[in-house]
Structure 1
Amino acid sequence: MIHHPFRIAASTAVLALAACASHTAKESTVMFKDVRVTEHRGNDDLLTAGLGIAGLRAMTPPALADAEHPTPTELRRRALWSNWRGIADLAPGGGYGELYGSTAAVPGREFGAMATVPGAGQPHRVLAQVPDAFDTGKRCVVVTASSGSRGIYGAIAVAGAWGLPKGCAVAYTDKGAGTDYFDLDAGQGVTADGTVAAADAATLAFAPDVAVGEAGVRGVAFKHAHSRDNPEADWGRHVKQAAQFALQSLDAAFPQAAPFTFDNTRVIAVGISNGGGAVLRAAELDGDWLDAVVAAEPNIYVESEGGRALYDYTTQAALLMPCALLHMQGLPQPPLSAQVAPLWAQRCVVLKEAGLIEGSDAATQAKSAHDLMKASGWSDEALRAGALSVGFDLWRAVAVPYASAYGRYMFGESPCGNRYAALDTNLSPRVATNAERAAWWSDASGIPPGAGVNIVEEHPTSPLQTLRCLRDLWQGGSADAQRVRKGIAETRAGLPRSGLPIVVIHGADDGLIPMAFSSAPYVKQAKAGGRDVRYWQVRNAQHFDAFLGLPDYGARYLPLLPYVYEALDRVDAHLDGSGALPVDAVISTTPRGAGALQAGNLAMPGR
């Protein structure tokens, strides 16, 4: 196998803000490259790039004057639109901006850069948003990590929407994932400002090592799957580097008030989903640098107390859940039952033929699959909400790149023969267009399919070939399986720092990251270790606030973001000495049905 030398340094010039100042020596050990400072005022603010709630609700993204050559300003506005809509329920009647949350314009400056954790081969993005209303007398930084594998603005609706209106600086990291896609066909990738350039550009954000086979180098690489760094193992360090960058950015923004240090600046970490896992991993790190943590629906892995790795239950769900759901009634729509039932029944047949379930007809086969899921810890509530992930083929979309990431495989080495490319009308790989490539950074979610990039299965011989291969990487004994499991073991969580207040929030109906596998065992382990962890379990809440705009989901489920903001309010008040930390609660909510969300539906715990 020949290694093609596509990897280049992001920049030969390294810039560290305030790196020579002795007062920040402890925080300045990280060198930040390709630093950019931009101003955002008037119709281009920090929080929504001037779109406001009406612009964010628009069904089409902000237009580009030249689709093949968008400007950094256009790309930023479009990225904010995409990430807001991917995380928050902005639909009328959902309560955003009325009962909770803010999209008010916040003027200020952005400091962006690349940082690299020790031992990593690829950088991660860091970004500090500094509002003009930042109070140097009450220094606060909210540090966050993107949910899923989203780009640098992936937590704007979580941390930005809470911190910026309060005058706090907000620090972000894409935690080694993000939307810095690289087109192997064109030899082009994404630069620091989001625009596309050739492989030898000085500020390229990601350029992969690639394996050249008989068919040559082709397709699309992205950082989470193809960095060879197993970024999830370093999530906590990514978060701390983002906080360090925020302090140095504040030194540059307000030199008359410098130094900004962990000793004189309040730092609260918050994140949801993968971002929630990242801030919990940051809580493990040595040093008194964090003041509090709020983590919602966290992807966090502990081996004890019933904990399961994301890869384990994802690959199980990818195989069994379509069949198992046939055993259940009253599934949320979409997917439309009449359309998917025949496909799910065929999955049952294939599973039976493979010897993975039992039964002589669809009903008994579905019950067999359902029983297997329940026996491994899935609740009916999680299975029911998981129908959405089945409908969007999300289980496979997650499992394919995570296998590559955990095994530290280079592009072209996927253990199950998958790659990524644009597809033509016959679903065959093709070269991406200039316009598609130009919009990847702003429009993609960091995990294909999406933004014109799809999973390609090389020469499948059976309907379950890829899914069984992915599952065998968890259950089997091959060299590839051992390699993947080694990477998963590197992501195990430890105990948070003693004395650090932590609030964990999780929807009881979460069907993507069930709390029985993640937050519940984490909290139990942390409390057994004497750590100060408070736990809110929210009934009738699932994983995706953004899908509550679908009528049936909005009628059944409550958003989780109101509880994140409320927990942040209470933690902030506690740090001010004016309030108590939240107490453990199982929150019995009331679905809103066909009406608009009301405060009573949320049943927010009393202070």
Structure 2
Amino acid sequence: MSAQSLRTVAASAALVLLACAAPPPAVAAKPRAAAPNARQEAAPMFSAERQTEHRGEHDDLLSAGLGLDGLRAMVPPAFADAARPTAAELRRRALWANWRGIADLAPGGGYGELYGSLARVQGREFSAFASLPGAHQPHRVLVQVPDEFDAKKRCLVVSASSGSRGIYGSIVVAGAWGLPKGCAVAYTDKGAGTDYFDFDAGIGVRADGTTGPVAEGGLAFTPDASEREASKGVAFKHAHSRDNPEADWGRHVRQAAQFGLRSLDRAFPKQAPFTFANTRVIAVGISNGGGAVLRAAELGDEDGSANGWLDAVVAGEPNVYVEGARPLYDYTTEAALLMPCALLHKPLGAMPVAPISGDSAESFCTYVAALGLLGDAARQASTEVRAQAAYEHMRGNGWSDDALRAGALSVNFDLWRAVAATYASAYGRFSAAQPPRTRNPDQPWVRYVYSAGQVAPGAPISERSASEAERAAWWSDASGIPPGAGVYLFGPNAAQPEQRLAPLAGLRELWNGEALGEQPPERGLALAAAQQRVRKGIEATRAAAPRKDLPIVVVHGLDDGLIPPAFSSAPYVAMAREAGAQVRYWQVRNVQHFDAFLGLPALSARYLPLLPYVYEALDRVDAHLDRDQPLPADALIQTTPRAQGQALKAADLAIPR
């Protein structure tokens, strides 16, 4: 695929890219261990509770009636009134966007044939805002209860959205596996999601996904009055809630499970109460959702007892940080600066580099060489020499060749910059009015801002106010981190590449605490203060060991270029095992981070999907819990990429049996 073709595909995807009751039946209670000295937490609080039904010819729980053909459509489901879509229209479109953002649904990719299900499952949805004690903003929880719920098995699957997606951001992972099996499925957006707020209009997102003004109340995310007065553009919850949501991912998952039990009580009052003692709870997630369920695995019951609420965990490609490993912010800010240059190292054999940000990979080489990141010899060297130096630097810091090759996707989609800017704000608990400031050679203090953009041929994208139609679609269409859905990430409006790239160095400085290149002396104290805030936030996300008797399966592709296993799952598994946990680890060759991109011919011939292994791991832990079957053994899975233009075959996946 040419560089121009990649840029075209990347730009398109970025813009297109949640009573009195009879006695319960006899169910074996799960063992509990008392923990009288455990810290007591306030009971969960739920508000804005809603219940909706999803049945009939044109609706269901998994796809809102779209089915595989409707989800494959390149154009999203239309709104009758683009500026005022209904809650049902928004839900249908959100499901379309989240299926397409997570799964490979392309013909020949195997979904619905070799693995996965899009069976029509009818039932009810229960949703609410959930609040953690001390949090500034609520997070969303949602429970899907199928009409064919197996009341004898009493199964609840709990999941967290991948990335920063909205409440339906794990429908492909948890819903597609659990609902056809008669399990209820509980979701959390884990304090992120697509509840954007438009400062220019004073409008946010209501519980049902529609938009409304602050004065009416009931919004999912409302910046405080001082922020609203001082800010322009767009705010989103992951970056601007001032809650550092990642620090509470495990608690978000547990609260979703609690809301799941509450919803089952309401759905089946004759079988109530549903409790952690009589209901099987399996947690599953991928990416950030995978990290969230691993954080949940370390938590006891909220009533203070040490064990008992979770029965098993499956984590795919988890973003998880343990002591002694590299946290996401460290390797993301390194990749944002160095990877575009490193990918020009010809022996690596990476795909063409064409960042949608517009700056060439060569300009990155020039910039990082001038900063001194490639050594003194590279300052006056050729691009080829600089690329080799950048490659060797990243290899020395733990990046594999496989991760670097797949990392080209994150370079071309501008993900490194987007993630780094979002997480810097979240970790430091900076508000939209006072974000982390990054440097620029001519303006020592500049910042990234988020806004709707004016796109004109041959001209840079410029900031403008969002339209009603754009705002209306944010909840359904956005991925939770701009750029996307018409919202852009704006840095310095500068003519020279080194001025445009300078904020990336500022983001890196917030991790290492050292100024890169020459900077004004007065900047030192401010940098140290900001760096301390970010470091404190990162430390709050460090995972602890899970419960020793909790079955856990971790699945990770060895070609993951966004969350390399060397920095995440591998050190987590080592830490958990050292603590005595029963963890199984599947490492899968030729699997990278984004199943959804496998519809591109150049990628389908190189990589396989991760989801089949996550579903299989769920089947195995379910059999372990249900029939006392052994947990799967550790595996280094040797896969076979399909030939270009050929359909995926079961033998290509080599799933352990």
TM-score > 0.5, shorter chain as reference: yes
TM-fit CA distance, 1:463 = 3.0
Contact map agreement 2:351 2:405 (CA 8 A) in 1: no
TM-fit CA distance, 1:140 = 0.3
Letter in 1 for 2:373: L
1:505 aligns with 2:555: yes
1:296 aligns with 2:316: yes
TM-fit CA distance, 1:330 = 6.6
Structure 2 partner of 1:10 = none
Task: Say which SS state the counterpart of residue 130 (structure 1) adopts.
Answer: strand
Letter in 2 for 1:275: G
TM-fit CA distance, 1:202 = 3.0
CA distance in 2, matches of 1:431, 1:539: 45
TM-fit CA distance, 1:412 = 2.0
Contact map agreement 1:436 1:451 (CA 8 A) in 2: yes
Please point out which of 30, 37, 53 is paired with 2:68: 53
TM-fit CA distance, 1:212 = 5.6
Structure 2 partner of 1:471 = 508
1:605 aligns with 2:656: yes
1:421 aligns with 2:421: no
Contact map agreement 1:210 1:217 (CA 8 A) in 2: no
Task: Say which SS state the counterpart of residue 267 (structure 1) adopts.
Answer: strand
| Residue correspondence of structure 1 range 436-447 to structure 2 within 5 A | 436-447=470-481
| Residue correspondence of structure 1 range 392-411 to structure 2 within 5 A | 392-411=413-432
CA distance in 1, matches of 2:100, 2:352: 18
What do residues 432-490 of structure 1 show as CA deviations (whole Å, max 9, x unaligned)? 00000000000000000000001122556713211000000000161101110100000
User: Measured at CA, do residues 336 and 229 of structure 1 come closer, stay the same or move farther in structure 2, by a change above 3 Å?
Assistant: closer
| Residue correspondence of structure 1 range 470-489 to structure 2 within 5 A | 470-476=507-513, 478-489=528-539
Contact map agreement 1:93 1:597 (CA 8 A) in 2: yes
CA distance in 1, matches of 2:95, 2:289: 17
Structure 2 partner of 1:251 = 265
CA distance in 2, matches of 1:60, 1:216: 37
What do residues 353-392 of structure 1 show as CA deviations (whole Å, max 9, x unaligned)? 2211142111110011001100000000000000010001
Please point out which of 181, 194, 201 is paired with 2:196: 181
What do residues 325-348 of structure 1 show as CA deviations (whole Å, max 9, x unaligned)? 0004475656569x9999112211
CA distance in 2, matches of 1:210, 1:553: 47
Letter in 1 for 2:310: L
TM-score using structure 2 length: 0.86
Structure 1 partner of 2:615 = 565
| Residue correspondence of structure 1 range 52-91 to structure 2 within 5 A | 52-91=67-106
Structure 2 partner of 1:11 = none
TM-fit CA distance, 1:210 = 6.2
CA distance in 2, matches of 1:462, 1:342: 11
| Residue correspondence of structure 1 range 269-348 to structure 2 within 5 A | 269-286=283-300, 287-304=307-324, 307-329=325-347, 331=349, 333=351, 335=353, 343-348=360-365
Contact map agreement 1:27 1:261 (CA 8 A) in 2: no
Task: Say which SS state the counterpart of residue 398 (structure 2) adopts.
Answer: coil
Contact map agreement 2:343 2:353 (CA 8 A) in 1: no
Task: Say which SS state the counterpart of residue 468 (structure 1) adopts.
Answer: helix
Letter in 1 for 2:248: D
Which one is further off, 405-414 or 69-78?
Answer: 405-414
CA distance in 1, matches of 2:399, 2:265: 49
User: Measured at CA, do residues 48 and 355 of structure 1 come closer, stay the same or move farther in structure 2, by a change above 3 Å?
Assistant: same
Which one is further off, 204-213 or 235-244?
Answer: 204-213
Task: Say which SS state the counterpart of residue 144 (structure 1) adopts.
Answer: strand
Contact map agreement 1:209 1:410 (CA 8 A) in 2: no
CA distance in 2, matches of 1:593, 1:576: 39
User: Measured at CA, do residues 41 and 331 of structure 1 come closer, stay the same or move farther in structure 2, by a change above 3 Å?
Assistant: farther
Structure 1 partner of 2:369 = 352
Structure 2 partner of 1:169 = 184
Structure 2 partner of 1:6 = none
What do residues 391-415 of structure 1 show as CA deviations (whole Å, max 9, x unaligned)? 0111001000110000000112111
1:580 aligns with 2:630: yes
Letter in 2 for 1:145: A
Contact map agreement 2:586 2:634 (CA 8 A) in 1: yes
Structure 2 partner of 1:455 = 489
1:263 aligns with 2:277: yes
Letter in 2 for 1:353: A
Contact map agreement 2:452 2:466 (CA 8 A) in 1: yes
Structure 2 partner of 1:236 = 250
Q: 5+ residue gaps in structure 1?
A: 1-17
Structure 1 partner of 2:570 = 520
Structure 2 partner of 1:4 = none
CA distance in 1, matches of 2:330, 2:370: 22
Aligned residues between the structures? 583
Structure 2 partner of 1:113 = 128
TM-score using structure 1 length: 0.93
CA distance in 2, matches of 1:252, 1:267: 18
TM-fit CA distance, 1:30 = 1.6
1:34 aligns with 2:18: no
User: Measured at CA, do residues 342 and 236 of structure 1 come closer, stay the same or move farther in structure 2, by a change above 3 Å?
Assistant: closer
CA distance in 1, matches of 2:47, 2:359: 53
Query: What is the percent sequence identity of the aligned residues?
Result: 67
Letter in 2 for 1:422: A
Contact map agreement 1:412 1:419 (CA 8 A) in 2: no
User: Measured at CA, do residues 19 and 411 of structure 1 come closer, stay the same or move farther in structure 2, by a change above 3 Å?
Assistant: farther
Structure 2 partner of 1:533 = 583
Contact map agreement 1:115 1:126 (CA 8 A) in 2: yes
Task: Say which SS state the counterpart of residue 265 (structure 2) adopts.
Answer: helix
Contact map agreement 1:210 1:410 (CA 8 A) in 2: no
TM-fit CA distance, 1:143 = 0.1
